[in-house]
Chain A
Amino acid sequence: MERTVRTAFIHRLLFTSGVWVVLSGTDVKALAVGAVAVPFATWLGLRLLPQRQHLVLGRLVRHFPAFAGGSLIGGLDVARRALSPRMPLSPGWVEVPARLRDGGRVAMGAELSLMPGTLAAGVRDDRLLVHLLDTEAGFERAIPREEAAIAAMIVEAGPSSTAAGGAP
């Protein structure tokens, strides 16, 4: 347990250091302030949001092309509808079982909001409510695919670590 906390600290420290250098540059003064601020921010972050799940970075990177392609299609689709004089819309809702929890659920909602035609609107009774821009277009077919992709990126850090994304 002690070891996982230390690993989480180091991973987050590297990430926060990267953000700091990008924000404030490699000036000596900036680095001096960062030498204090970055470990403190990392420590505070771990206290406020302890590590319960961790990301498999390789899977995140591998998902990026699909994400970029999907958001490009999503943006083109909504732009076309918004600028078209006829404005073809057929809004509606679908409910899907919310299998992911905590951060995974939020990440999936965020992902769906950028994919074509879907928008997450919270969870009710363990069912994810998804708004569709066009109920005829089959946008909802992407939902299980996105869920599987995000489930594959997350590993539960707790003692009861089960493979995510399987049957509930």
Chain B
Amino acid sequence: MGDLATYAFTGIGLVFFAAGSAGLLRFPDVFSRLHALTKADNLGLGFIALGTSFQAGSWRDVALLALIWGLMLLAAATVSQLIARDALRERDGE
């Protein structure tokens, strides 16, 4: 039962990672690409962490997975703002 949940959730996570990568390659400019990376990869890692947590041996492993996801979320959301701000400055020639 746990294994089935792991397959299902990590599978969903991989689809989101693939979609994020597709957006990174296909979208026309840096801003649109950031949408794909932050939003799709957030869910990708979230679902993989959720799937992996069904294999966890202790509450600490689950908390660790949640912590990794949270830190990645924080990093992605912060860095995407910085890249967007910088790209905008460059575009406007400041």
Contact = CB atoms under 8 A, between A and B. Distances in A.
Interface residues of A, number: 36
Nearest to A105: B81
A74 B84 contact: no
B32 A114 contact: no
A79 B20 CA distance: 7
B38 interface: yes
Given A23-B67, A121-B81, A121-B88, A82 B22 contact: yes
Interface in B22-79: 22-23, 26-29, 31-32, 34-36, 38-40, 42-43, 60, 63-64, 67, 73-74, 76-78
Interface residues of B, number: 36
A71 B42 contact: yes
The binding surface of chain A is classed by DSSP as: helix
A120 B84 contact: yes
Contacts of A87: 26-27
Interface of B: 15-16, 18-20, 22-23, 26-29, 31-32, 34-36, 38-40, 42-43, 60, 63-64, 67, 73-74, 76-78, 80-81, 84-85, 87-88
